[in-house]
Structure 1
Amino acid sequence: MSDQTSSPSDETRQNAALQHAVIVGMQPDQSPRVLEEAARYAKLLKAPLVIAHVDVTRFVTYEDPDGYVHSAPIDLNIEAGLAEFEQVQAAAASALKGSGLEWTARQLVGDPALAIKQLANKLDAQLIVVGTRKRGLGESIREFFTGSVAARLAHRQHRSVLVVPLEEAVPDDQAEIWTE
């Protein structure tokens, strides 16, 4: 998985500089807590921070031997994924301004868990940070069909995965987690 605008040689050079990074999966309008925790761990580990946004509207068509990934849109409106990536970059730039932290953003494509796993392998990442989903019937149905990205990452690769809660915790006396 690669930056949309990078060439294979650019990506190889960037990957070398980002070895042992902390990777954080981000979506537009996500709780800032996820990025804050990722930045905190990147500082503690003295590691670069890689912000990964996965465009699920595109899929991998083939991968070159050097690891450069070519993709194609599922939908002809490819601007949606680019707009989301720009939104994620802007939020990260605002949140990390003045932090002194070395960071970069990557646009990945396809299945979020597999895309983040592949990036973590390329960078020999120290840690992967993801947020939980919002509670709600729609999200629970989506998770039922697609599975939790955090759970899939935890079971399909060897790195530690930090899962950051996005909302207030469900009270212990509340029987149903999703009340919609």
Structure 2
Amino acid sequence: MGMQPGQASHVLEEAARFAKLLSAPLVVVHVDVTRFVTYEDPDGYVHSAPIDLNIEAGAAEFDEVQAESATALQGSGLNWTARQLVGDPALAIKQLANKLDAQLIVVGTRKRGLGESIREFFTGSVAARLAHRQHRSVLVVPLEESVPDDQPEIWAE
């Protein structure tokens, strides 16, 4: 499961529920997107991004993900681990899923708002990219209440 600090707890709860249903261990993954210079999409398009010289920021985010996971999964009896990856979230999660031969990938939807809409326009949806670029099932869990069909998402608060 892909996780960000402060992510809605029900995404982790759904991942834990499916791990139990599948009798599989849960791997909670945080991807530090600030720790790469360039990467290449499977279609060959090369991207680049600035390096964040504050390496501690990624470590702090991973610590937060681990703490949130430990709190949420305490007493669940579930076998789980946390891993930190770097680079593009969709590619990093795909590669780890291949390495672990994961049965299912769980991610949350993005937060609503203009800033997230702009970010997604430039970087694309992690869930959509995962669904199109690998063979595993992807469970996309809504982070919050859905946007009414008659309300454009870009104006949601």
Structure 1 distance, partners of 2:13, 2:69, is 10
How high is the sequence identity, in percent, across the aligned residues?
84
1:78 is matched with 55
Give the 5 Å matches for 1:4-23: none
Q: 1:109·1:115 contact (CA, 8 Å) conserved in 2?
A: yes
- Structure 1 runs of 4+ off > 2 angstroms? none
Structure 1 distance, partners of 2:100, 2:35, is 22
Where does the alignment leave 5 or more consecutive residues of structure 1 unmatched? 1-23, 62-72
SS in 1 for 2:153: coil
**Which residue, 99, 116, 130 being the options, matches 1:139?**
116
1:15 is matched with none
**Which residue, 125, 128, 149 being the options, matches 1:172?**
149
Where does the alignment leave 5 or more consecutive residues of structure 2 unmatched? 39-49
Structure 1 distance, partners of 2:121, 2:138, is 20
Root-mean-square deviation (Å): 1.4
SS in 2 for 1:172: coil
Quick one: which amino acid aligns to residue 178 of structure 1? I
When normalised by structure 1's length, the TM-score is 0.78
Q: 2:37·2:51 contact (CA, 8 Å) conserved in 1?
A: no
Structure 1 distance, partners of 2:122, 2:26, is 30
Q: 1:25·1:129 contact (CA, 8 Å) conserved in 2?
A: yes
1:70 is matched with none
1:69 is matched with none
SS in 2 for 1:30: coil
2:45 is matched with none
Q: 1:55·1:108 contact (CA, 8 Å) conserved in 2?
A: yes
Q: CA deviation at 1:170?
A: 1.4
2:14 is matched with 37
Q: CA deviation at 1:102?
A: 0.1
